[in-house]
Structure 1
Amino acid sequence: MPGDLPDYYFRIRENGAVLFKVDTENRQRRIELDEIATINLRNGNIKPHGDHDLTEGERALIEDWIARRSAELARRDLDDIHRAVDHLNLTAQWAQSRASDAELDAVTDALLLAMHDLRSVLIRRKADRLAKPTKAAE
């Protein structure tokens, strides 16, 4: 079993991760996780834990993890948006075919406000994108 374990383990946190060194070479033959760094994805900070000095290999491992994790989170965000489009379509079908008046009363205002907000943001962002080529041509 010890041969199957990685040398390092990333415990995912909301803003990044904590990096642990996996230690299986001890008298009790237990798996020990020694915290060596905290990683913040939002600002890119990497803080060694305690008096641990990160090696070049550990820094490279962390940078690789940051790149892979950021790509994964971006992919998930886009997937969530595609699911939201599906949910909007299912919601429209529900409102048209199955919703009772009481159910519609319970959700209509919240849905209309959320859709108005989303529409405003999308229109503003599309206008900004369309205006960029015009500015570049000047």
Structure 2
Amino acid sequence: MAANLPEYYFRVRENGAAVFRVDTENRHRRIEMDQIAVVNIRNGDIKPQGDRQLSDDDLSVIGDWMTERKALLEMRDMDDIHRAMDHMNLTTQWAQSRATDAQLEDITDDLLLAMHDLRSVLVRKKADRLIKNGQ
């Protein structure tokens, strides 16, 4: 098992990760994880732990992880948006075919406000893009 472990482990946090170096070559033949840094993918900060100096290899691996993590999070965001559109369509069908008057009364105002807010942002962003592209 130890031979298949990666050299680094990233414990995901809200804005990045805690970075550990994985050590299996110790006298007790145990897996040891030594925290070497904390990274923030939002602002790109890489903070070594304690007085540690990160090697070029450490920084390269961390940089690669940050790039891959950002891509994964962007992909998840887009997937969430596509799921939201599907859910809006399902909500429309529910409102048209199965919702009771009491259920509609319960959700209509909040849903209309959320949809109005979304529409306003989308229209403004679309206009900004058209102006920026000279159309």
Provide the aligned C-alpha RMSD in A. 1.1
Where does residue 129 of structure 1 map in the other structure? 129
- Separation in structure 1 between the aligned mates of residue 39 and residue 55 of structure 2, nearest angstrom: 15
Q: How many residues are paired up?
A: 135
Where does residue 15 of structure 1 map in the other structure? 15
| One-letter amino acid of the counterpart of residue 61, structure 1 | V
- Separation in structure 2 between the aligned mates of residue 79 and residue 134 of structure 1, nearest angstrom: 30
Shift of 1:26: 2.0
| One-letter amino acid of the counterpart of residue 102, structure 1 | A
| One-letter amino acid of the counterpart of residue 6, structure 1 | P
Shift of 1:134: 2.1
Shift of 1:45: 0.4
Post-superposition Cα deviations, 1:83-107, rounded to whole Å, max 9, x if no partner, equal 0000000000000001111111111
Shift of 1:27: 2.5
> Any runs of at least 4 consecutive aligned residues in structure 1 with deviations exceeding 6 A, and if so which?
none
SS in structure 2 of the partner of residue 30 of structure 1: coil
SS in structure 2 of the partner of residue 134 of structure 1: coil
Post-superposition Cα deviations, 1:27-79, rounded to whole Å, max 9, x if no partner, equal 22211111000000111100000121100001000111111110111111011
Q: Equivalences for 1:109-128 in 2 at 5 Å?
A: 109-128=109-128
The two structures have a TM-score, normalised by structure 2, of: 0.96
Contiguous gaps of at least 5 residues in structure 1: none
SS in structure 1 of the partner of residue 73 of structure 2: helix
Where does residue 96 of structure 1 map in the other structure? 96
Which region of structure 1 is more displaced relative to structure 2, 55-64 or 20-29?
20-29
Identity %, equivalent residues: 64
Q: Please state if 1:44 is matched with 2:39.
A: no
- Separation in structure 1 between the aligned mates of residue 28 and residue 103 of structure 2, nearest angstrom: 60
Where does residue 63 of structure 2 map in the other structure? 63
Contiguous gaps of at least 5 residues in structure 2: none
